[in-house]
C-alpha cells in the first residue's frame, strides 16, 4: 500500500491521542487498521485482553480523517450479542471519535431504546449505531431499510464466537448478506475469542475467507484447584462439594471481589445458600446471578460488581459475557470446567486491568473432576482450544428472513436466492430447499397442497411482498431466534417480580410448599395463568428448582486432554497436584481393573446383586455416552433380546441387565460399527419425542408460534397453539414437511452430538480393547452406579445407601492396598 | 370441535396444514352410527373463530347438517362461538343456548359455572394427563375428567391441543385408548 500524506497525518493523530492516554498502539491494532484501509474484511481474535475494540473501530475513523465523507447517514454498524453491552460500547466508540475530532455521532438501537429515539432513527440515523442481531433484522423489515443502510462502510460483529454456532449467528449472516448486496464494498470485521476453527469462523462471518489478526499478547492466566484434604476412592457426583466449602469461603475472603461460576442454576442456588449459612455476616455482600432471575435483580447485581461493592457473586453462564467488572480479581469454577474455551472465557472475567493476571480456581464437586482440572490446564497451556461448529442451512431461520425482507420492501426470487447463497450457512442450499421455503412463506406449504386462505407473503408482479399490515406487524413482534422456556413468573403478592421457574417445577408444588429461589426462602401461595405467587418463608430450606438444559458435556478438546491425562496415569506418571491427589483412587482402579491409555477402550464386566453390569469408558462426554449407551443396548439386544437400564457420565456409560449381555457376539457383529448408525439411533432412542420438543424452537423461529402482542394479552388468543400441537398436526397431515426433518436433524446434532458420536465410534473401532472382570465396581464405575440409584430412591435413603456401599468397597480396597 | 381452526391460522399467515372440517365430521359420523345417536349436544366451541369460517368449511358443515335431518343438535355456546355474528350462527342452522339444565345434568361450556345443584358437564379445558414411564418416557393424552360436582369431556377436533390437568384425590380420569374411541 502506498502511504498517502493524509493517511500518515491521520495515523499520527491516533498515535498522539494514544500517547496522551498513556497507551501505545499494539502491532496488531495497526495491522488491523491497515487491513481495513486496504478494503479487507476479517476477524480479530485473542484469548483475553483488551484492545480489540479499537483495533476494528479506529480503522473506520482513520479513513474519515484521511478522506472525510461528504454524505451524511449511517457509516458503521456495531453488532453485539448482548444488549447490556450496548451502553458501554457506545461510550467507548464515542470517546475515540471525540478525541480524534471525527464528527460522528454514536447511538444504540436495541430492544431497550426508547420509542421516541427509535422514531427519530427511522428518519435519520447517526453515523454509527450499536445494535443486536434482532434489532438489525427488525430494521431490515422496514421499507426504509435500503435507504438508511446502503451507505454503510463497516459492520463489526462483537463476540462473534458467541453467535457463531447459533441461529442468532445465522440470522446475522443473512442480514450481512443483504447489506453486502446493497454495498459490495462493505467491510465486515469480527471480534472473537480464540477458537479451534478460526478460518471457518471468519469465513462464516464474511461469506468468503478473510484476514485473521491475532490480538494482544497472551494474557497471563493462573489455573489452580482447591484440593480436598483426602478424596474418596469411591467418589460420587455432588459429594465432594460441601467438604470444600470452608476453602471456598477462605478464597472469597482473601480476594477483593470474586465470581463463583457454577454449571447450573440449581447449583448456583445451592452454593449461594451454603456460603451465606457459613458466613451470615456476608448478607448483602454476596449475591446471586442467573438467567432465570428478573432483569432488574440481575442489573442491580451487575452494578454492585462494577462498583466493587460486592465481595462475591455466585453465577452461571449468565455472566460469561458482559461488561467488564474491573474489581474482580479472582474467579472460582465450581464443578468441572467442561471445556477449554469455557474455562478461559471465565478466567478472563478476572484481572481485567492491563498487566493483571487472570486467576481461576477450580472447585471439584466430585473426585473424578480433578482429572478435568489437570487436563484443562494442559490443554490451555498447549493452546488446544475448542472448535465451535457453524450451523448448516436451518430453514426456519431462512423462512423468517424471507418474511422480514418481504416486509422490508420485498424481493425478486432470483436476486434473493443468489444473495442468500452468499451467506456461508446457505452456500449449499439446494434449489428444492429454496423452493420449499419460498412456498412455505407464500403458500403455507408445497404448491400441491396450496392453502387458499393463506396470507403471508404474496407475489406482486415479480416481487414478493407483504400486503397485509397485520401480518407484517405480527412478524416484527416475532423476529429473532431466542426461545424462552415454558416458564412461569415468580412474584410476591405485592407484585414484585423475582424471576421465572419452569412450569414443571411449579406443577409439583402445593400451596404452603417451600422452595429456595433467588437465594431466598419462599412459600408457594398459588399458581394462576403464567404467574406463581409466593411469599417469604422464614427458614432457608426447601426444594431447589431444577431448570432444563444444565447438562453440558465435556468438550471434544477437554475430553481428549482427559484421555491423555489417564494415559499418563496408566504409565505410572501422576503429573500435577490434582493427579497426585487422585493417587489412592487410581491405584485401586489399576489394581482391580485397568487405567486406559488414550488408544485403548476399557470395558468392565461386573456382577452384583443388582445384575450384570457392563461399564464402557470411551471418555467422550456425557451426550455422546448417552447416544452410545442407547446404541449399544439396541445392538446387544439384537443379538439376544434383553432389557437394559442405562447410566452415563462424562467418563463412561453403564448397561445393566438381569442376565449376562452377549458382549463377544455383539463385538464380532460390529458393536462399534458406523453402518446404519442413524437408523439404529432412531431405533434405540425415543427420537420422536425428542424431536417434538426440539420443534418448539423451530416453530417459534419459522413464525408458527405467536406469543401475543405485548401489553395486549387478549386479541390473538385464536392464533395460539402449542408447538407440540403443530408438530402432531404436521406429522399427521404433512409428514414430509422440511421443518420436521430439521427437527430430527437438530435432535441428532444438538442433543446427541451425532458427528462427535460418529467420530467416537471410528476411534473405538481402532482402539485396543481391554476387557476386565473386577469382582466389585471400580472407582471409575462407582459414580455411574450411584447416578442410576439416585433416580429411583428418595434423598434420605439415597445418602444412607451410598454410604453403606462406600464403606463396603473401602474395606475391600483397604485389603488390596493393605 | 374448533372447526375452521387451521383456516383461521392460515388467514393470519401462519403456515399450518389445512385440516378440513370433513375429517372431524366423518369421525363424528362413525360414532353417531355406531351408537345410534338421535340427540347431539355440543358443549361449546363448535367453531374456532369467524376468520376460519370460510365458504368451504361452512358449506361442508351445512351439508353434513342436512344429511342428519333426523338428528337433534343442540349447541351450548362456548367462548369461541360467542365471537360469531348473528348471521353466521344463522348460516350454520343452529340455535345456540347459553346453557342447558336438564336433570341430573347441567350442560355448559365452562364446567365451573354455577350448575343450579345439578352435575355440570362441560368442555373448554381440553383436559389431558401426562403419563410417565420408565426411562424418561412420557406421553400426554386427552382424558375425561369427572369430579364430585362436575365432569369435563376431552376436545373432539383434530387441531385442539391439551390442557394438562392436576387431578385431586377422588377425581376419576378416563383415557380414550384407541381413537376414535
Instruction: Supply the DSSP symbol for A449.
Output: G
Residue A419 pLDDT exceeds 90: yes
Instruction: Supply the DSSP symbol for B71.
Output: S
pLDDT digit string, tens, across residues A463-477: 999 988 888 988 998
Choose among A430, A339, A474: nearest CA to A756: A339
Residues 6+ apart with CB under 8 A from B171: B145, B146, B147
Give B166→chain A minimum CA distance, Å. Answer: 8
Residue A794 pLDDT exceeds 50: no
C-alpha cell recorded at residue A626: 448417552
| A311-325, A384-398, A673-687: least confident range | A673-687
Alpha carbon of A413 to those of A417, A420, A463, A699, B70: distances in Å? 6, 10, 7, 24, 55
More confident residue, A128 or A5: A128
For residue A526, is it left (φ>0), alpha (ψ between -120 and 50) or beta? beta
Distance CA A481, CA A584 (A): 49
Give B48→chain A minimum CA distance, Å. Answer: 7
pLDDT digit string, tens, across residues A550-578: 578 899 999 999 999 999 999 999 999 99
Give A444→chain B minimum CA distance, Å. Answer: 4
Distance CA A667, CA A741 (A): 32
pLDDT digit string, tens, across residues A707-732: 666 544 434 566 667 788 888 888 88
Taken in order A744, A552, A565, A806, the sign of the CA dihedral is negative
Average pLDDT over all residues of chain A: 87
Rounded (5°) CA angle A83-A84-A85 = 90
C-alpha cell recorded at residue A168: 442468532
pLDDT digit string, tens, across residues A630-660: 899 999 999 998 888 888 899 999 999 888 9
ipTM: 0.78
Asked if residue B180 has a cis previous peptide bond (ω within 30° of 0), the answer is: yes
Specify the pLDDT at position A217: 64
- DSSP output for A710-760: TTB-SS-GGG---HHHHHHHHHHH-TT-HHHHHHHHHIIIIIS-HHHHHHH
Asked if residue B157 has a cis previous peptide bond (ω within 30° of 0), the answer is: no
Inspect the interface and report whether the beta carbons of B10 and A454 lie closer than 8 Å: yes
Q: Which phi and psi angles does A367 have, rounded to 5°?
A: -55, -40
Residues 6+ apart with CB under 8 A from A432: none
Mean local confidence (pLDDT), A770-782 = 95
Specify the pLDDT at position A542: 63
Give B142→chain A minimum CA distance, Å. Answer: 12
Scanning every residue of chain B, which has its alpha carbon at the shortest distance from the alpha carbon of A478?
Answer: B14
Instruction: Enumerate the residues of chain B whose CB falls inside 8 A of the CB of residue A452.
Output: 54, 56
Specify the pLDDT at position A793: 47
For residue A355, is it left (φ>0), alpha (ψ between -120 and 50) or beta? left
CB atoms within 10 A of CB A307: 12
Which of A437, A469, A729, A791 would you mutate first to test chain B, the one with the most B CBs within 10 A?
Answer: A729
Mean local confidence (pLDDT), A746-753 = 81
Which chain B residues have any C-beta within 8 angstroms of a chain A C-beta? 5-19, 48-49, 51-52, 54, 56, 80, 83, 135-138, 140, 158-162, 164, 166
Instruction: Enumerate the residues of chain B whose CB falls inside 8 A of the CB of residue A453.
Output: 7, 10-11, 18, 52, 54
Pair B76, B107: CB distance under 8 Å: yes
Distance CA A421, CA A180 (A): 12
Specify the pLDDT at position A710: 54
pLDDT digit string, tens, across residues A192-208: 988 899 999 999 999 99
Specify the pLDDT at position A239: 59
Specify the pLDDT at position A584: 92
Specify the pLDDT at position B136: 47
Residue A817 pLDDT exceeds 80: no
**Nearest Cβ partner for A451 among B10, B140, B158:** B10
Give A673→chain B minimum CA distance, Å. Answer: 25
Which of B2, B8, B11, B16 would you mutate first to test chain A, the one with the most A CBs within 10 A?
Answer: B16
- Using a pLDDT cut of 90, give the percent of chain A over it: 52
Burial class of residue A815 (count of CB atoms within 10 Å of its CB; 0-12, 13-18, 19+): exposed
Q: How far is CA A412 from the centre of its chain?
A: 36
What CA dihedral angle connects A351, A353, A355 and A356, to 10 degrees? -20
Alpha carbon of A699 to those of A407, A655, A687, A730, B51: distances in Å? 20, 36, 18, 11, 22
Rounded (5°) CA angle A340-A343-A346 = 150
Q: What 3 state SS string does A291-356 have?
A: CCECHHHHHHHHHHHHHCCCCEEEECHHHCCCCCCCCCCEEEEECCCCCHHHHHHHHCCCCCCCCC
Rounded to two decimals, what is the model's pTM? 0.84
Which residues of chain B fall below pLDDT 70? 113, 132-138, 178-181
Mean local confidence (pLDDT), A57-69 = 90
Edge-to-edge strands of the sheet including A42-45? A106-109, A128-131, A76-79, A154-157, A187-192, A42-45, A211-214
Residue A485 pLDDT exceeds 70: no
Which of B13, B21, B59, B158 would you mutate first to test chain A, the one with the most A CBs within 10 A?
Answer: B13
- Using a pLDDT cut of 70, give the percent of chain A over it: 91
pLDDT digit string, tens, across residues A283-296: 999 999 998 888 88
Amino acid at each position: 500500500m502506498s502511504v498517502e500524506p493524509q493517511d500518515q497525518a491521520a495515523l499520527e493523530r491516533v498515535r498522539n491521542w494514544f500517547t496522551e492516554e498513556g497507551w501505545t498502539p499494539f502491532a496488531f491494532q495497526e495491522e488491523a487498521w491497515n487491513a481495513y484501509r486496504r478494503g479487507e474484511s476479517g476477524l480479530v481474535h485473542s484469548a483475553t485482553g483488551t484492545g480489540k475494540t479499537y483495533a476494528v473501530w479506529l480503522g473506520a475513523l482513520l479513513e474519515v480523517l484521511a478522506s472525510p465523507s461528504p454524505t451524511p447517514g449511517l457509516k458503521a454498524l456495531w453488532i453485539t450479542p448482548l444488549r447490556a453491552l450496548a451502553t458501554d460500547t457506545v461510550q467507548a466508540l464515542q470517546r475515540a471519535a471525540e478525541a480524534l475530532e471525527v464528527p460522528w455521532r454514536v447511538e444504540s438501537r436495541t430492544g431497550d431504546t426508547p420509542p421516541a429515539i427509535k422514531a427519530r432513527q427511522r428518519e435519520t440515523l447517526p453515523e454509527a449505531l450499536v445494535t443486536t442481531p434482532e434489532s438489525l433484522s427488525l430494521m431490515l423489515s422496514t421499507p426504509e431499510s435500503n435507504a438508511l443502510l446502503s451507505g454503510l462502510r463497516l459492520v463489526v460483529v462483537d463476540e462473534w464466537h458467541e453467535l457463531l454456532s447459533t441461529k442468532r449467528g445465522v440470522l446475522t449472516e443473512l442480514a450481512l448478506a443483504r447489506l453486502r448486496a446493497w454495498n459490495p464494498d462493505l467491510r465486515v470485521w469480527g471480534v472473537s475469542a480464540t477458537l479451534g476453527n478460526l478460518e471457518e469462523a471468519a469465513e462464516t462471518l464474511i461469506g468468503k475467507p478473510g484476514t485473521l489478526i491475532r490480538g494482544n499478547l497472551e494474557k497471563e492466566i493462573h489455573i489452580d484447584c482447591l484440593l480436598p484434604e483426602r478424596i474418596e476412592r469411591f467418589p460420587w457426583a455432588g459429594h465432594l462439594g460441601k467438604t470444600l466449602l470452608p476453602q471456598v469461603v477462605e478464597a472469597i475472603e482473601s480476594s477483593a471481589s470474586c465470581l463463583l461460576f457454577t454449571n447450573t442454576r440449581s447449583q448456583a442456588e445451592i452454593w449461594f445458600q451454603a456460603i451465606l449459612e457459613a458466613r451470615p455476616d456476608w448478607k448483602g455482600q454476596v449475591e446471586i446471578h442467573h438467567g432465570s432471575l428478573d432483569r432488574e435483580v440481575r442489573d442491580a447485581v451487575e452494578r454492585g460488581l462494577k462498583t466493587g461493592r460486592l465481595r462475591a457473586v455466585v453465577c452461571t453462564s449468565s455472566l460469561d459475557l458482559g461488561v467488564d467488572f474491573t474489581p474482580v480479581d479472582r474467579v472460582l469454577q465450581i464443578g468441572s470446567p467442561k471445556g477449554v474455551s469455557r474455562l478461559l472465557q471465565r478466567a478472563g472475567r478476572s484481572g481485567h486491568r492491563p498487566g493483571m493476571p487472570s486467576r481461576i480456581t477450580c472447585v471439584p464437586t466430585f473426585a473424578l473432576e480433578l482429572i478435568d482440572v489437570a487436563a484443562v490446564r494442559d490443554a490451555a497451556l498447549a493452546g488446544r482450544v475448542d472448535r465451535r461448529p457453524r450451523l448448516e442451512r436451518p430453514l426456519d431461520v431462512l423462512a423468517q428472513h424471507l418474511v422480514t425482507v418481504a416486509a422490508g420492501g420485498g424481493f425478486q426470487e432470483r436476486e434473493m436466492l443468489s444473495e442468500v447463497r452468499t451467506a456461508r450457512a446457505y452456500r449449499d442450499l439446494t434449489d428444492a430447499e429454496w423452493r420449499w421455503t419460498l412456498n412455505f412463506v407464500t403458500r403455507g406449504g408445497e404448491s400441491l397442497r396450496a392453502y387458499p386462505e393463506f396470507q403471508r407473503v404474496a407475489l406482486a408482479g415479480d416481487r414478493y411482498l407483504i400486503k397485509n399490515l397485520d401480518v407484517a406487524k405480527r412478524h416484527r413482534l416475532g423476529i429473532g431466534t431466542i426461545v424462552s422456556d415454558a416458564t412461569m413468573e415468580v412474584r410476591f403478592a405485592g407484585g414484585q417480580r423475582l424471576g421465572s421457574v419452569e412450569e414443571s417445577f411449579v406443577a409439583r408444588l402445593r400451596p404452603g410448599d417451600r422452595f429456595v429461589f433467588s437465594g431466598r426462602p419462599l412459600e408457594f401461595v398459588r399458581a394462576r395463568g403464567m404467574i406463581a405467587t409466593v411469599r417469604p418463608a422464614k427458614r432457608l430450606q426447601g426444594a431447589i428448582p431444577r431448570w432444563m438444559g444444565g447438562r453440558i458435556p465435556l468438550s471434544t478438546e477437554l475430553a481428549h486432554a482427559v484421555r491423555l491425562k489417564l494415559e499418563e496415569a496408566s504409565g505410572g506418571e501422576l503429573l500435577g497436584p490434582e493427579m497426585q491427589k487422585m493417587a489412592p483412587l487410581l491405584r485401586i482402579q489399576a489394581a482391580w481393573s485397568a487405567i486406559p491409555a488414550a488408544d485403548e477402550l476399557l470395558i468392565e464386566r461386573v456382577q452384583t446383586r443388582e445384575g450384570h453390569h457392563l461399564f464402557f469408558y470411551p471418555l467422550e462426554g456425557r451426550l455422546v455416552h448417552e447416544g452410545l449407551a442407547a446404541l449399544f443396548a439396541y445392538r446387544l439386544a439384537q443379538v439376544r433380546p434383553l432389557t437394559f437400564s442405562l447410566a452415563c457420565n462424562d467418563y463412561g456409560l453403564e448397561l445393566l441387565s438381569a442376565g449376562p449381555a452377549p458382549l463377544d457376539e455383539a463385538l464380532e457383529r460390529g458393536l462399534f460399527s458406523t453402518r446404519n448408525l442413524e437408523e439404529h439411533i432412531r431405533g434405540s432412542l425415543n427420537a420422536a419425542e425428542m424431536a417434538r420438543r426440539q420443534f418448539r424452537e423451530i416453530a417459534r423461529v419459522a413464525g408458527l408460534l405467536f406469543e401475543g402482542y405485548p401489553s395486549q394479552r387478549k386479541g390473538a388468543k385464536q392464533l395460539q397453539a402449542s408447538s407440540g400441537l403443530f408438530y402432531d398436526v404436521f406429522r399427521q397431515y404433512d409428514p414430509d414437511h422440511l421443518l420436521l426433518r430439521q427437527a430430527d436433524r437438530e435432535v441428532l446434532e444438538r442433543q446427541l452430538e451425532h458427528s462427535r458420536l460418529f467420530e467416537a465410534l471410528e476411534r473405538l473401532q481402532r482402539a485396543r480393547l481391554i476387557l476386565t472382570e473386577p469382582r466389585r465396581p471400580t472407582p471409575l464405575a462407582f459414580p455411574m452406579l450411584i447416578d442410576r440409584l439416585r433416580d429411583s430412591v428418595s434423598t434420605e435413603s439415597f445418602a444412607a445407601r451410598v454410604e453403606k456401599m462406600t464403606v463396603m468397597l473401602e474395606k475391600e480396597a483397604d485389603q488390596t492396598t493393605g | 370441535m374448533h372447526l375452521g381452526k387451521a383456516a383461521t391460522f392460515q388467514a393470519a399467515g401462519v403456515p399450518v396444514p389445512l385440516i378440513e372440517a370433513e375429517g372431524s365430521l366423518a369421525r363424528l359420523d362413525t360414532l353417531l352410527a355406531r351408537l345410534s345417536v338421535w340427540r347431539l349436544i355440543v358443549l361449546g366451541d363448535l367453531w374456532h373463530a369467524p376468520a376460519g369460517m370460510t365458504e368451504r368449511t361452512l358449506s361442508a358443515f351445512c351439508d353434513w347438517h342436512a344429511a342428519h335431518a333426523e338428528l337433534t343438535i343442540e349447541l351450548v355456546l362456548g367462548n369461541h362461538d360467542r365471537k360469531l355474528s348473528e348471521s353466521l350462527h344463522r348460516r350454520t342452522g343452529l340455535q345456540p343456548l347459553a346453557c342447558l339444565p336438564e336433570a341430573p345434568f347441567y350442560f355448559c361450556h365452562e364446567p365451573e359455572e354455577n350448575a343450579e345443584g345439578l352435575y355440570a358437564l362441560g368442555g373448554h379445558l381440553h383436559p389431558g394427563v401426562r403419563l410417565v414411564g420408565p426411562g424418561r418416557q412420557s406421553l400426554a393424552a386427552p382424558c375425561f375428567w369427572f369430579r364430585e360436582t362436575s365432569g369435563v369431556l376431552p376436545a373432539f377436533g383434530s387441531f385442539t391441543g391439551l390442557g394438562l390437568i392436576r387431578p385431586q384425590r377422588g377425581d376419576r380420569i378416563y383415557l380414550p385408548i384407541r381413537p376414535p374411541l
